[in-house]
Amino acid sequence: MKILYSLIFALSANILFAQSETILPRFLTSDEVEAMKTYHFPTNRGIETPPEFENLRTMAEWEEIQALTVSWTGYPGILKQIVRAAKEECKVIIFCENCGSAENYLTGSQAGGPLNNLDNIDFVNVDLNSIWIRDYGANTVYGNRVDTLLLVDWIYNRPRPDDDVIPQELADHMGLNLYSTTSSPTDLVNTGGNFMSDGQGTAWASELVLEENELGNPYNVSVKSETDIDDIFQEFQGISHFIKMTALQYDIINHIDMHLKIIDEETLLVGEYPPGIADGPQINANIDYVVNAFLSYFNSDYKVVRIPMPNSSSGLYPDDNPAGYYRTYTNGVFVNKSYLYPSYREQYDTTAARIYAELLPGYNLIPIDCDNNPEAIIAAAGAIHCITHSVGVSDPLLITHQPLADTYDDANSYEVAASMEHRSGISMATLHWRVEGEIGFEEINMIAGTANASEFSQSIPPMPVGTVIEYYLSGEAASGKIQVRPIVAPLGFWSFKILGNSVGIEQVTAVKLNPVYPNPASSLVSIPVITQQPIHVKIYITDIAGRLVETVYSGVVNGDKRFSLFVDEYSAGAYKVVIEGEFGVHSIPLMVVK
């Protein structure tokens, strides 16, 4: 689908603004469509060669941040609510043309009354074109995964020169290096609303990123193939898997944050229209493509959670005439232990609140009205995510863990595996667990892997059917830095339930995975499986962090079978033998020695 700027303007012409016409929407205005013909997009900004660090890693939005950035131009009531909540979690950097006016508004009686103080707020005086800092702001990237903090900026796809310099203003204010894709052959156009990362090398965007860099693009950037684009994201941001989805017909900006939110490494929150309405069919097709073609960082299927896409109070959706605004609940932002998201009206808001409470237990969930005159910002094709951007901490302690799923196993212990990374190393990893209803958590030191010092494991003892186990993880770096995951722990935690009747797994499932032998092993391993009836299973090996190492067998098993596994080429360390089927998932440990 080509970008037709006259069509974009025609589609947006029906969007009415209650505020001054000087407040620019997220899409192109008619004047900007004309200006695109002669506008010279900026070059020579920041460091225009890829960062010189190994193992670049783009931060995920749910990670710990040191600052939230906003641009104070228009919609002050909404911005004030964001600042009020965010300053309790991190520093808030406000870019403003008249910082005295912004300060007066924050301490005034409007929009919920004065802030309790202006602590944790930096005011940076700059010229601005628009409020949409998500699209023109810079992205947090780490060298060596958890070491050097740097910022990466792309070419912004709007003729808004004041907005273009904000990434450099941010870098200067924070004393950080800014790397920019502004010089051929790595001159790349993209926007923050059309980009999300899982923090582990996978990113998402719509195919707009291809269109904006193809032959005939209006930005005068060098022509790039999809492979060229993937290479630039790899070189500047460490993105090794870049998932691109078909652009949507009724989202006139084609930014994925208007219908998608990456909640964690394997959970996608997806906007849902009624059947056949607006972009619903294409969104569903896109998500089907993602789920069928890609696996999560844990080599598991992505979990998809749906959340309504509201219509107007008069029942209009974006495909109606006149078109309803592109109302969405996915356009939210993580701010450490808080999550801010748009709200519209009670009919839909209560459902959205329930879904977020289930997805993000323990978070301070803060809805902000984006559909109320005179500040109906959704009319300008954006909401909360669009007008905020984050800067990660300079000293991250990264904890990665695939939460345990419900299980039928009431006979074997439940292994909890995680990776913990910090530039100084990890001095202690702890598993905190309890049975639902208990007040305190039991603490158990986790055991470091022999092959990889950043991988840790520990076990929770078997529990009877019906038990719900609650747990979280903590890590302490050699430097003294401490982090927990979920970041809201112990108020929020993971949980799983022991399902089925009060019998062992072999009786419930008619499948038994016996201990492998020899164990420890250095060469040939035998994996004994016993079934009471023909049943389809998948047997595979993962490392301690849950990443797939090898598939041993996928098919029907009947009776007593032995599967052979050669581990000669495996690195020394801890692994898991996993059997999966309609009965659930069961695993046992395997140690490889050299």
User: Can you name the CATH fold of 510-592?
Assistant: Immunoglobulin-like (2.60.40)
Cα–Cα distance, 208 to 223 (Å, whole number): 14
Strand boundaries in 134-279, DSSP class E? 139-142, 149-153, 178-180, 196-197, 202-206, 241-245, 260-264, 267-272
What is the pairing mode between strands 468-477 and 494-497? antiparallel
What is the pairing mode between strands 511-513 and 524-531? antiparallel
Cα–Cα distance, 552 to 395 (Å, whole number): 40
All CATH 2.60.40.10 domain ranges in the chain, comma separated: 398-497
Question: Which tokens in the block code for residue 147?
Answer: 């070491």
pLDDT digits (tens, 9 = 90+) for 463-510: 999 999 999 999 999 999 999 999 999 999 999 999 875 334 444 456
The CA angle 377-173-67, to the nearest 5 degrees, is 55
Contacts of 289 (CB under 8 A, 6+ apart): 245, 246
Q: What is the DSSP-derived secondary structure letter of residue 293? A: H
Question: Which tokens in the block code for residue 476?
Answer: 């302490």
Instruction: Mark the ranges of the chain whose per-residue pLDDT is less than 50.
Output: 1-21, 502-508
What backbone torsions phi and psi does residue 579 show, to the nearest 5 degrees?
Answer: -120, 135
CATH class of 398-497: mainly beta
All CATH 3.75.10.10 domain ranges in the chain, comma separated: 5-392
How many C-beta atoms surround the C-beta of residue 224 within 10 A?
A: 24
Q: Answer whether 529's CB lies under 8 Å from 561's CB.
A: yes
Cα–Cα distance, 472 to 467 (Å, whole number): 17
Place of tokens 């849950």: 546
pLDDT of 16: 33
pLDDT of 159: 96
Q: Supply the CATH classification number for the domain 5-392.
A: 3.75.10.10
Closest Cα partner for 136 from 144, 125, 127, 145? 127
Half-sphere exposure of 523 (CA within 13 A, CB side): 0
How many C-beta atoms surround the C-beta of residue 450 within 10 A?
A: 16
Q: Is 379 left (phi over 0), alpha (psi -120 to 50) or beta?
A: alpha
Strand boundaries in 36-96, DSSP class E? 57-58, 65-72, 91-96
Cα–Cα distance, 543 to 548 (Å, whole number): 7
Contacts of 507 (CB under 8 A, 6+ apart): 501
Contacts of 260 (CB under 8 A, 6+ apart): 196, 204, 268, 269, 270, 271, 330
All CATH 2.60.40.1930 domain ranges in the chain, comma separated: 510-592
Closest Cα partner for 329 from 359, 301, 300? 359
What backbone torsions phi and psi does residue 495 show, to the nearest 5 degrees?
Answer: -150, 155
Q: Which residues pair with 430 in a beta bridge?
A: 445, 474
